[in-house]
Every structure is written in C-alpha cells, then in structure tokens.
C-alpha cells in the first residue's frame, strides 16, 4: 500500500515526460518500444540534458502510420513540477515500466504470470506517484516523437489523449491513497487504449 496523502510542496524544474512507441507490427513479439525522457548529466560539463529511453511493449494492434518516419512513434508529453531531474526520471520510468508490464500481462498465458505482471505494473505506477511528491501530473501534449533526433511534434491523436487522461487518473488515485483496484482499472484502460488505438 502506498502512503496516503503525499503532500510535499515542490517548486523548481518543470519537467516534460514522454513515451514513444515506434510503428511496428503488433504481436506477442515485443518490438514496439515505449520511450520516456531520462535526464542525463554530462560527466565533463555537469549539465543535464533529456534523452529518450526505450523498452519493448507488447500491443494488440499495428500502430498508425506516423508520416513515413520508421523510427518515430507516438508520444505523451507530460507536464509536472519536480524538484530535480532525477525525480523526473523516476516518474517517467515508473509510468513507462508500468505500461511495459501491463503489456506482458496481456500476452501472458499463465494466470499466475498475468497476476505477477499486473502487480509489478501497479508497483511501478505507485513509484511514479510517490516520486511526484504531491505535485500534479498533467498532459502537456500528445503527438509524435523521433528517438533518433530526440524531438517531439504535437499531433491530434484522440485515443492517445484518452489513454493519457486515464494514466493521470490512475496516478492521482495512487497519490492520495485511494483504491488500488480503481487505480489498476484506470491504468489498465490506458494500456488497452494504447494497445488498440481506441478512445472508448
């Protein structure tokens, strides 16, 4: 159970969080990749920069054509107020890993494995909620990301906006110590919308 009423007041860095899934054929073979921003510190200058990190996600439907850009994928660009780049990375990673584990659960054939992946997903989303430290996660934009160029271009994708809203709802439920079953249902709904490109 995650702590109730995480209520730290944070001011500082305005972080943008993103996921990208390249356009590949959907199947149990985990080749589409959700990507999220990680803040990386230069060893020479000490400055921070954002870099997309990607891991496999299993989905049920082939992704839409994203304008003839093979490495490009859809992207959720989040807005959050976080005190440090490290916390931004933890939030991004928690949400990204949560989606990855929901994808694994969707394709697992063993009920025990399905339950274990769903539990791991909820733990990852819970870590994201915890590392927000009471600040509110909201949607900056949805669109297309290019992991080679490390860029984002906003685009109207209603199914992705719907999924992002469900992720926000699930994370907020975990932040305030609400029902884990309710949060899990919201987050599962987000994965289903991503996996099938459906709003409803």
Q: Domain extents for the chain?
A: 13-196
β-strand 35-41 against 48-54: which pairing, if any? Answer: antiparallel
pLDDT in the model for residue 85: 81
Lowest pLDDT segment from 34-48, 113-127, 157-171, 179-193: 34-48
For residue 105, what is the enclosing H or E element?
A: helix 85-107
For the chain, the average pLDDT equals 80
Q: In the chain, what percentage of residues exceed pLDDT 70?
A: 78
Percent over 90 (pLDDT), the chain: 38
User: Is the model more confident about 74 or about 164?
Assistant: 164
Positions of E strands within the chain: 13-17, 20-22, 35-41, 48-54, 73-82, 138-146, 151-154
Per-residue pLDDT tens for 99-120?
A: 999 999 999 999 999 999 999 9
Helix axis angle, 180-196 to 158-175, nearest 10°: 160
Q: Which two tokens stand for residue 92?
A: 């991004």
pLDDT at 192 over 50: yes
Distance CA 200, CA 31 (A): 25
- Which of the residue ranges 130-134, 143-147, 155-159 would you say has the lowest mean pLDDT? 143-147
More confident residue, 44 or 105: 105
């Amino acid at each position: 159970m995650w702590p109730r009423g995480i209520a730290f007041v944070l001011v500082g860095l305005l972080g943008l969080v993103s996921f990208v899934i390249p356009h590949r054929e959907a199947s149990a073979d985990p080749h589409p990749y959700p990507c999220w921003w990680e803040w990386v510190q230069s060893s020479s200058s000490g400055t921070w920069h954002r870099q997309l990190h990607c891991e496999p996600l299993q989905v049920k439907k082939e992704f839409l054509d994203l304008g003839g850009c093979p490495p490009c994928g859809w992207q959720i660009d989040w807005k959050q107020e976080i005190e440090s780049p490290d916390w931004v990375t933890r939030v991004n990673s928690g949400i990204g890993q949560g989606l990855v584990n929901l994808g694994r659960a969707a394709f697992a054939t063993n009920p025990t494995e399905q339950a274990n992946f769903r539990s791991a997903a909820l733990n990852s989303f819970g870590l994201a909620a915890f590392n927000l430290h009471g600040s509110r996660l909201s949607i900056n934009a949805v669109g297309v990301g290019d992991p080679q160029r490390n860029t984002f271009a906003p685009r109207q994708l209603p199914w992705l906006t719907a999924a992002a809203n469900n992720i926000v709802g699930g994370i907020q439920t975990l932040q305030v110590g609400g029902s884990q079953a309710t949060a899990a249902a919201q987050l599962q709904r987000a994965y289903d919308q991503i996996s099938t490109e459906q709003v409803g």
